Amino acid sequence: MRCSVGAQVLQILGLVLVLGTPYCEAILRRKFVIKETPYTRLCSTKSILTVNGQFPGPTLYAHKGDTVIVDVYNKAKYNITIHWHGVKQPRDPWHDGPEYITQCPIKPGGKFTQNVTFSLEEGTLWWHAHSDWSRVTVHGAIIVYPKNGTSYAFINPHREVPIILGEWWKQDIFAVYDEFRQSGGDPNISDAYLINGQPGDLHPCSKQDTFTLVVEHGKSYLLRLINAALQDILFFAIANHQVTVVGTDASYTKPLKVDYITISPGQTIDLLLEANQPADHYYMAARVYSSAAGVEYDNTTTTARIQYKGQYTPSSPPPLPYLPYYNDTAASVNFTGRLRSLASGDHPVPITVPQTVKHKFLFTVSVNTFPCANDSCAGPNGSRLAASVNNISFVSPSIDILQAYYDHIKGVYGTRFPSKPPLEFNFTADYLPLALETPQNGTEVKVLEYNATVEMVLQGTNLAAGTDHPMHLHGTSFYVVGWGFGNFDKKKDPKKYNLVDPPLQNTIAVPKNGWAAVRLQFFNPGVWFMHCHLERHLSWGMEMAFIVKDGPTTESQMRPPPPDMPPC
């Protein structure tokens, strides 16, 4: 229930807070100015795209149920869109943000006012650009507090700290993008990973600005971890400290005490750190988990410091945490597979776990290749690298799918996205015939009735290069009810599903040469993107969209478009 706006208006630090009667959901207003700003990292300076000159960008704060209105001004020379990752935006796909899916880009000099409507989310999310690769520097945290009068599902921490994992190229990111699109090969790897915008002590010219968290012995800290890196799943750990996972993707989890975590691009993980070790300095660190054979990766380690308050002589250098080896798939899934929804009396699951479903989809996610004239491209054997879902490599339309759907414009997209792959074969075999590597180009969507219940098995393949794919869905979260290695077995595997307390996520890493099964009810009418959150795979076409039709009542129908949609 939302109250009417207008009783009092508070203006604090350029942030407008409009309050209605007590306990009402608030409407807050923020200004995002996209502009180029010079930043120096790894001893060299370049111009990067920022929001309000900040990198990482400003944090959005809200309580569950609030709406934040963000005025986005594009004062840069590139097209841009902004996506509110993990925010369901009930009935309002217009403000979701993915380029050519729900809007055309905001052109240089343009402006778009976006409503960010919080409903079921509670915890940590993030926002990022959703056009080309500009999200590399255009991103920031979203913190959703419990509603007034309710509390966290865990003890109140002494302090809360966003920990944003990022990625840095010394080269201009648009040059990296253009080069790899042109060559058809893999993109240049990054030069460093970042913690809160900083590569850390192990990198040149970086020591002085390393992110430092000062802690008091005996207190607990809530680390709101976000993987904003473009290309890689990351391992993260803190030396000599265990951490307790309490949430992921803005949904509470059963407390899980671990030595390290695995976090996919797109995913957020809330963890509690108890400052319970001898007073000293300790490193927190992150480095890559990269499973694809023959694919180069950035093998550097990013660090930040935990410093206990007090009088003592710290270890020099501070101890580094243990992190699993770069290609340790077992370590990766060992963490991810242990997440469970909290599902307690005080904090029940926010959405019912579908016990039965109307639709069962099998979607293969593959890296592919297209033949290239004279074998002159930079992919394997002179081919051009591509990627697909159910063998369709997604081609961006010229106007956004949402507008075409709403205005009944023909010829923009097709409605024949298949429920299963066109060919059944041993998807995860060691050797696969080269002929299977070539996908079809297409702009196909899957159309669903309002409230459709769906089971979607995301099946990895070993085409071109078997690897993990962090698949992300817009508009609603899904329950991860099962996963495994090899090919999904539709007779045996569903018997092992967890339909009691599966984790509610918006991003799930489909394991290398394995599968992940998710269940959800599509209760949010609109056009919703689903894609791999490894940026190179997204650029190659590993994506599709769902159209969820309107329901019978006003409350189950899409809102009309706002008057200021950016023109195509």
Q: What is the binding site for Cu ion (CB under 5 A)? A: 469, 532, 534, 537
Residue 472: closest CA among 482, 462, 480:
480
- In angstroms, the Cα distances linking 239 to 322, 367, 523, 558, 566 are 7, 36, 43, 48, 47
Count of helix runs (H) and strand runs (E) in the chain: 4, 34
- Least Å from the CB of residue 533 to Cu ion: 7
Nearest approach in angstroms of CB 542 to Cu ion is 5
Q: Tell me how far, at minimum, the Cβ of 499 lies from Cu ion, in Å.
A: 27
**CB-wise, 118 or 540, nearer to Cu ion?**
540
Q: By C-beta, is 446 or 469 nearer to Cu ion?
A: 469
Measured from the CB of residue 185, what is the shortest distance to Cu ion in angstroms? 16
Are the CB atoms for 50 and 35 separated by under 8 Å? yes
Least distance between Cu ion and beta carbon 413 (Å): 22
CB 281 within 8 A of CB 301: no
554: CB partners within 8 A, 6+ apart: none
Q: In Å, what is the CA distance from 445 to each residue of 299, 308, 459, 543, 560?
A: 37, 53, 18, 10, 21
The H or E element that residue 359 is part of is: strand 359-370
Find how far residue 257's CA is from the centre of its chain.
Answer: 23
Please state, in angstroms and rounded to a whole number, the distance separating the CA atoms of residues 180 and 536.
Answer: 9
In terms of CB distance, is 305 or 537 closer to Cu ion? 537
3-state helix, strand, coil split of the chain in percent (to 5) is 10, 40, 50
DSSP 411: T
Q: Which is nearer to Cu ion, 210 or 391 (CB)?
A: 391
- Least distance (Å) between residue 468 CB and Cu ion: 7
Q: Residues for the chain: how many in total?
A: 568
469 vs 474 by CB, closer to Cu ion: 469
CB atoms within 10 A of CB 395: 13
Secondary structure, 3-state, 428-446: CCCCCCHHHHCCEEECEEE
Which C-beta is closer to Cu ion: that of 161 or that of 292? Answer: 292
Q: Which residue lies nearer to Cu ion by CB, 232 or 493?
A: 232
Distance in Å, CB of 537 to Cu ion, minimum: 3
Among residues 48 and 392, whose Cβ is nearest to Cu ion? Answer: 392
In the bound complex, what is the minimum distance in angstroms from residue 227's beta carbon to Cu ion?
14
